[in-house]
Structure 1
């Protein structure tokens, strides 16, 4: 895996198309959420890639058949049925006239979202033209407890999420809902969580989230920067958050991060961070999926903003003490 770039104009300034990966176990409400996105009068144009073969309902008036490669819809969206390489599909979309405001990839309910997410890290052409905006996971409040017992994919889908849609809340009691939310939070304490019925959620809460930006974690976890706020875990998936006050040395941090992702990539589901690099006025932000890493220099550190470096890693059997020691060794 090549090293991450140390300089870049930033995802927003580069004009890359944001990609939202929509995942969730069978019956959780992914297609309902997708239909809501496509039927909203947002005035934007989205390409939709459905990671399933066969007929997939998009709304009441349109079904994309298996014989269709790309189908232009009346509301300006485009739908694809993925029958080959996701990279090939995206390459074809990039050649279409008119362009898109975003791409939405709906995975099959039995899928681990990792291979789909990795596509936007590993192919140079795709990486140059698109950026992974967020992984959005729809969770079935009614059946989650059972799914966590019999479906490892459900664990992975929650752990990968940048945004969690806790759906079908009307089908459980308040006590049951609190218990389900606690289970979800044990796996992933940092994703933005929305309780919904019929996947009814504001579009801005799903699209344009910028998964790079850990400022959203600060909204959720005000004590994130406090000493000792490091890890949440359940039986096998845990999250580790480490903060260093001040700058880190990029010549130490980037090789360590790449090496760690290579060694522990099978267990490392998601990683992300905001770094203050020595002598650099801009924030370096990165995110990763297993062994695949991507990073950019983004906006300047604001005058009223404390230069702080922080990372979050979510995975299985993570050695919190080793991660913390190695990261702190990168401090200037």
Structure 2
């Protein structure tokens, strides 16, 4: 994997390549940024470059044994810790068992020049795990490089942060994501542009949305939202039950609705098509936005933000969706749109 294959993140890549060239590689790196911006890919590219038998200035050759092992996912010198969500937990956590495994693996020398240990969602470490990991950083084993991937780095212990070189991964420009989707996923430019706007600078999210058939579902979700004020209350509750049958889609559905309400505010306030997320539906946004005031659209956005927050807090999904749909329904019904 070449560094040039990673979209954007020119500053992050430059820092790492200069460190390798100068042979001044930090024993601990903190990659911070939203998911899907290249943190994992960059960690792999760095690991490949460090152990490649015939490296170039841009990365590993991809052909030697260490490169092939890493590409095939069986490199003994690349350890990836990915926390799993367990029953009773709101979200995945890096726990003591993960760090114990790292202690064990770093107790002997790497087979190649370096061993790279990547801890995904490092900001989810339990206190016990963090204190155990801190001991490794205080006396780092030779030829081992730790890479911590984090969305909220301030959730880490300050003593861990102070022992890492922090490298920021910024949201990827939508134009770069759209170009990549056209070239690598063979999407038409309009479709690629919509996805690039929706994903908020995360190529990983764009890929996930493609896999889940987001654009086709988006049409159904937005059609429902537009028709919502004309429904009676029983139909609204019936629709809520139907959506609850596909819980994996709910976050994306809320994201689609959020983008739509946001677009209608843009239409009313800015009048600039280039700022729209759903640019392929700009004429519809112009027509529908006349029904609502900016304040009402903001109230709708607040309802969706609350739903997302309550879902994150692992509250009752059925109540969240029913209350959100009823709240959005009332925005239109109270105006006589029903």
TM-score (norm 2): 0.25
TM-score scaled by length of structure 1: 0.26
RCO greater where, 1 or 2, for CA within 8 Å and sep 6 or more?
1
For the pair shown, which has the larger CA radius of gyration, 1 or 2? Answer: 2
Which protein is richer in strand relative to its size? 1
- Higher relative helix content: 2
